[in-house]
Every structure is written in C-alpha cells, then in structure tokens.
C-alpha cells in the first residue's frame, strides 16, 4: 500500500466512524485499523527513531578492536582492567599508534603483532567510553 492508499483508507475509516452507526466491535476494530495505518504512514512501525544504526559501522573495526581486546585480556588477565587506567595513558598510546601508523600504514605492534591501526581504534574506543561516563557524572541531577 502506498502513501495515497493509506491516507485514503484513513479518510474512509474517519468518515465511516463519523457517519455510520457502528457496533462496539466495529468501532474498536476501525479505531485499531486507523491507528495501525497512521503508524504505517509515519514510518514508525518499530520505534527506532533516534536510535543509532549500528549496521552502518564498518564490521572490520569491531573485529579489529575485539582482537586487541583479546590480546589485552590475555596479557593482563582481566577483561575490565582497562577501566582502571587513566585516560591520559590511552591518549598517549593512541598517539603513539597513530604516529606508527602514519610512518607505516601496514605496520604492526612489535609486542602484539596486531596492526597499529587496530590498537588505535581500541584506544579511541576506550576513550569514547570514558568520556561518555565522565559526561554522565557531570550531568546535573
């Protein structure tokens, strides 16, 4: 059903509600149908408005970050250890990996064997999370 057909159907229901003698069941059905059609018309069949479209994120970056996280978890033993590190340390690490990437876009970290760009993405992810949390703490109650 296209937009015009939906609008016509809504108008038909409105007229029927206004001018026809309807039973309670017919009234309820028509009201339900009118609501359904208005929802279709507004494009909010599912209330996703304002929610991030995660499928727009390139998948490779998620896998790259996951590999760095797996390496870090193996190295430090605690998957949540990163939360106890000062943001300045991640800023420094991100900058080092970025500089190494600029020097050699295909370069890998000597210790992990993973690309500098993957480490950079992971450090940025940590910083994004830390800044988000810091912003929440600074919001007035």
pLDDT at 94 over 90: yes
Name the phi and psi angles at 78, rounded to 5: -135, 115
Q: Verify that 60 and 127 share a domain, yes or no.
A: yes
- pLDDT value of residue 129: 95
pLDDT at 105 over 80: yes
The whole domain housing 37 covers 3-42
pLDDT at 100 over 80: yes
Residue 47 lies in a domain: no
Residue 127 lies in a domain: yes
Q: Verify that 124 and 63 share a domain, yes or no.
A: yes
The residue behind tokens 């069949």 is 45
Residue 49 lies in a domain: no
Q: 97: closest CA among 86, 113, 108?
A: 108
Q: Verify that 13 and 69 share a domain, yes or no.
A: no
Q: Verify that 66 and 37 share a domain, yes or no.
A: no
pLDDT digits 0-9 by tens, 17-63:
999 898 988 888 899 999 888 888 877 556 666 788 888 999 999 99
pLDDT at 65 over 80: yes
Q: Verify that 8 and 37 share a domain, yes or no.
A: yes
């Amino acid at each position: 059903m296209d937009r015009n057909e939906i609008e016509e159907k809504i108008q038909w229901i409105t007229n029927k509600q206004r001018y026809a003698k309807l039973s309670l069941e017919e009234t309820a059905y028509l009201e339900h149908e009118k609501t359904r059609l208005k929802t279709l018309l507004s494009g909010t069949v599912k209330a996703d408005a304002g929610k991030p479209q995660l499928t727009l994120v390139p998948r490779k970056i998620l896998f790259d970050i996951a590999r760095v996280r797996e390496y870090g978890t193996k190295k430090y033993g605690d998957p949540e250890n990163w939360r106890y590190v000062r943001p300045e340390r991640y800023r420094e690490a991100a900058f080092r990996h970025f500089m190494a990437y600029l020097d050699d876009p295909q370069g890998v970290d000597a210790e992990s064997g993973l690309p500098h760009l993957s480490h950079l993405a992971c450090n940025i992810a940590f910083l994004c999370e830390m800044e988000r949390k810091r912003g929440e703490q600074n919001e007035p109650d």
